[in-house]
Amino acid sequence: MRGTRSRMSVVLTLFAFAAAAFVAFMLFNDRQPPAIAVSHTGDRINLSLPVTVRATDEASAVAYIDVAVRFQENLIPVVRREFGGSGQEELTFTLAGLGLKNNDVFDLEITVADNSFGGLGFGNKNSVILPMRLDLSEPRLTVKSSVPYVRRGGTGCVVYSASKEVAGTGVKLGDLFFPAFRQENGDYLCFFAFPYYLDTKDFTPLLTAWDTAGNRTAQNLPVTAVPRRFSSDTITLSRSFLDAKAAEFEAVVPEPLSLIERFLEINGRIRRENAKTLMEVGKNTAPTILWRGAFQRLPRAAPRAGFADHRVYLWEGKKIDEQTHLGFDLASVKQADVPAANFGTVVYAGYLGIYGNLIVIDHGMGLQSLYSHLSAIGVEVGSRIAKGEIIGKTGATGMAGGDHLHFGILISGLEVTPLEWLDDHWIKDNVVDRVKDAGGTLPEFQVSGPAAPQGENEKKTKPEKPGNKQRRRSPARR
Ligand SMILES: [Zn+2]
């Protein structure tokens, strides 16, 4: 027993020696200093922008991060923090309280070291020197176009200039952001929406911009907000519709549910998810205008439902759901050819919940068109499309019971009424002339022929029964 124990302790001692030797070897042998990554890029900074320094050391642990400002002949300490044990450490600081003034030019000196015995026992050191200028001036924005006239559910257009270089700018409205795009003459052009779900009094867009130094501005954007009431509609669900859709809906929501429960999941949760997806798709947009002239709608097609129709769904005589229909429903012959409404690039081509087989075409600067319920998709993401080019065939995929095209227009992912963009005169008055008045130029634009059919009236169908104000219809179209 004794012999075994002593042999064990010899082995353990040898093992401890080997481990210590290995650690010492690693510490002395580590010649690599930690790598430095700084969150701030650019050579301007203000007093409140948080800057994060990350030090990463492959072989040893990070010992400290030290930040100082070299201004004229002085080295002003900003922050220094010691660490123990980890190969990656972070430190966040601002330049507040150092006595720096607007336009002061200085160096930001960042030094890091590891805890090895390299560097004569002080660790391997690494440092970066970043030349900076203190910039406390907010970008000032000056609106150059006349006050946008925006109808509820519609699009607005504004042209403005910025007093300095900006990192980003656009119209902000609650959680929504509509980016602006720089024009050849240096001005910014922004298309923004008056969301269908807001009242006139709640439509208070802000013009916003920020620079790389961390300065941010937001000012009220004066608009003429025009109220609009939307139609309402009742849809009576039938068992035959749910039976016909059973297999397709089960592929979207596979959980074990009754037909009507699954319908409600798709009409509610999946609808909201799809709206989020379209918001993401909306960010994928060209910085220039790709469209030319008014948008085209599906030819020889009867309008079946309008933008922002409020829909009440009935099942066995009871109201079971309410939703808003965002787009135009246009019915032609079955599997009719669908032409692209304007020039652009395909940014979505595939199945998406309530939309079924869906194509989204980007027309630049946040403007996109949407073609849904297709039976066939004839294009791929990335395809450049000409106005009128056939991109697919109408169908009844997704939340549709009968063959039709659901056509939509989106501004930075939010659905707006397509009517305005189908109308030469609206485009001329609200986009082309405004840009021109502000001293800018747009791609060649000609108003062709008479105005597009008048507004929401075109979709109105006669009530089935005299005196019945609401339209009622079978669930053929959604
Ligand atoms: Zn529709």
pLDDT(471) > 60: no
* Structure-token pair, residue 333: 């012959």
Give the pTM.
0.83
pLDDT at 82 (0 to 100): 95
Residue 342 Cα to ligand 1 middle (Å)? 20
The per-residue pLDDT for range 308-346, each reduced to its tens digit, is 889 999 999 999 999 998 888 888 889 999 999 999 999
Q: How far is 132 from 112, CA to CA, in rounded Å?
A: 20
CB atoms within 10 A of CB 149: 15
pLDDT at 88 (0 to 100): 94
pLDDT at 476 (0 to 100): 44
* Among 180, 157, 176, 159, residue whose Cα is nearest residue 168: 180
Name which residue leads in pLDDT, 458 or 201.
201
Taking residues 97-106, report their average pLDDT: 95
Q: How far is 344 from 321, CA to CA, in rounded Å?
A: 36
Q: What are phi and psi of 9, to 5 degrees?
A: -65, -35
Q: How confident is the model at residue 23 (pLDDT cuts 50, 70, 90)?
A: low
Cβ–Cβ < 8 Å for 400, 477:
yes
Cβ–Cβ < 8 Å for 221, 208:
no
What is the SS3 assignment for 361? Answer: strand
Cβ–Cβ < 8 Å for 311, 233:
yes
Does the domain at residues 31-134 carry the CATH identifier 3.40.50.720?
Answer: no
Query: What is the H or E stretch that residue 126 is in?
Result: strand 125-134
pLDDT(25) > 70: no
Residue 357 Cα to ligand 1 middle (Å)? 13
* Structure-token pair, residue 19: 């481990």
CATH number of the domain at 232-473, please? 2.70.70.10
What is the SS3 assignment for 7? Answer: helix
Residue 175 Cα to ligand 1 middle (Å)? 26
CATH of 141-226, one of 3.40.50.620, 1.10.1200.10, 2.60.40.10, 1.10.3660.10: 2.60.40.10
Q: How far is 452 from 429, CA to CA, in rounded Å?
A: 14
The per-residue pLDDT for range 129-170, each reduced to its tens digit, is 999 999 999 999 999 999 999 999 999 999 999 999 999 999
pLDDT(460) > 70: no
The per-residue pLDDT for range 239-274, each reduced to its tens digit, is 999 999 999 999 999 999 999 999 999 999 999 999
The per-residue pLDDT for range 416-452, each reduced to its tens digit, is 999 999 999 999 999 999 999 898 888 766 665 444 4
The per-residue pLDDT for range 176-234, each reduced to its tens digit, is 999 999 999 999 999 999 999 999 999 999 999 999 999 999 999 999 999 999 988 89
Between the alpha carbon of residue 184 and those of residues 142, 433, 460, the distances in Å are: 17, 17, 43
Q: What are phi and psi of 434, to 5 degrees?
A: -65, -40
Taking residues 4-30, report their average pLDDT: 69
Residue 436 Cα to ligand 1 middle (Å)? 35
Residue 304 Cα to ligand 1 middle (Å)? 8
Q: What are phi and psi of 354, to 5 degrees?
A: -60, -25
Domain layout of the chain by residue ranges: 1-29, 31-134, 141-226, 232-473
pLDDT(364) > 50: yes
pLDDT at 191 (0 to 100): 98
pLDDT(24) > 80: no
pLDDT at 28 (0 to 100): 59
Q: How far is 343 from 368, CA to CA, in rounded Å?
A: 10
Between the alpha carbon of residue 341 and those of residues 160, 285, 363, the distances in Å are: 28, 16, 10
Residue 374 Cα to ligand 1 middle (Å)? 12
User: Residue 155: is it exposed, middle or buried by C-beta count within 10 angstroms (0-12/13-18/19+)?
Assistant: buried
